[in-house]
Amino acid sequence: MQCVLSEFGTRRGLTARRSVLALMLAASSACIPVAHATESALGRPVAGMSVGPSAGIVPPEPMTIVNFENIYLDGSIGANRSVPIAGTATAGVDAKIDFTLATLMRSWGSTGGWSFASAITLPYVWTDVKAGASVGRLNGARSDSAANLFDLYFTPIVAGYHFSRTDHIALSFNVWAPTGRYDPNALANTSLNNWTFVPQVAYTKLVPQYGLEFDAVAGLQFYTRNQATEYQNAPLFTLDLMGLKKFANGVGAGLVMGTVQQLGKDSGPVADRLDGFVGHDFSLGPIVTYDTKVGGKHPVSASLRWVPSIASTNRLKSTNSFMASATLAF
């Protein structure tokens, strides 16, 4: 199995780091903050940002992978909706977020068809938030912005299994730690002020005779309570799908689909007033990729996607949602 998969470990498998970043991510991971978690109608995941080429492939050879991602989101919820934010409920919200992530991943090798890796991500965020008048109060519309290091994201273990040369799966456990700055009275923060645990599964199907690739990433997000506001986010289910056509010159083009579904109601003083603030969304858009090698031996991968919201309830609806990424494997 090791010899059969060496091609993917050195060329296509370099992008397997997305099985670790499916969050970010985020975005993810998937992964963009506004002020709190689903408290502010977004949480950590952004639909369509966690999946990428070779999402289910963990490199079978020991190697170091460095990844840089930038995610920009411009979204809103209309003033006819109440949004839990800054310990109260506001009449609508508009947010612009620019999220930069630097990830270091180390694959440890393989045994018995399984490959193993670990990763850590250092995120930086800039966010600008405008909210309407607080519901039930005389306060007028207000705005806030913040820029700083965001919550640390790490993956203690990701385990990939190679069913064959064309079918691969990756299982990972990921953690967001509340290491950023947080002010419970601010609209814009650089932390969500909770721990978030993200078990995840990624799958890759390759059809090399046609240059086709299909990837899927599914995950669950479990949040601890925000002790500053007593807001408890319900678990979230995320699913991102991608179909990609790769050409001989290293260019690829495809389509990305993503959804975030809230499982149950949020709880806490503000959430209870909003009947649990249950939300979901769906995003769809194109992706282009490029693969090459530096010095003939170091694989480099780059991608650019635009995945706007198609439908959204109680989550930020974005007309502009971009992600650019670059990866180098040693």
What's the CA gap between 327 and 133, in Å, rounded? 43
- Model confidence at 35, in pLDDT bands (50, 70, 90)? very low
pLDDT value at residue 261 = 93
Give the residue with greater pLDDT, 132 vs 175: 175
Q: 213-262 pLDDT, tens per residue?
A: 999 999 999 999 999 989 899 999 999 999 999 999 999 999 999 999 99
318 pLDDT band (50/70/90 cuts)? Answer: confident
Please, what are the domains in the chain? Answer: 6-329 (2.40.128.130)
- What is the C-alpha separation between 28 and 46, in angstroms, rounded? 6
- Separation between Cα atoms, residue 251 and residue 248, nearest integer Å: 7
CA atoms of 122 and 211, how far apart (whole Å):
34
% of the chain beyond a pLDDT of 90: 57
Q: How confident is the model at residue 23 (pLDDT cuts 50, 70, 90)?
A: very low
Tokens of 17: 């780091």
H or E element: which one contains 120? Answer: strand 114-131
CB 257 within 8 A of CB 241: yes
Q: Phi and psi of 14, rounded to 5°?
A: -60, -30
For the chain, what is the largest distance between any 2 Cα atoms, rounded to a whole number of angstroms? Answer: 69
What is the rounded average pLDDT of the residues 61-90? 78
φ/ψ region of 124 (left if φ > 0, alpha if ψ in -120 to 50, else beta) reads beta
Q: Enter the pTM of the model.
A: 0.83
Look at residue 27 and tell me whether its pLDDT is greater than 80.
Answer: no
CA 105 to chain centre: 16
Statement: residue 46 has pLDDT above 80: yes
Where is mean pLDDT largest: 48-57, 124-133, 210-219, 259-268?
210-219
pLDDT of 284 > 90? The answer is: yes
Q: What is the average pLDDT across 32-49?
A: 59
d(CA 220, CA 234): 11
Closest CA to 238 of 185, 137, 179, 315: 315
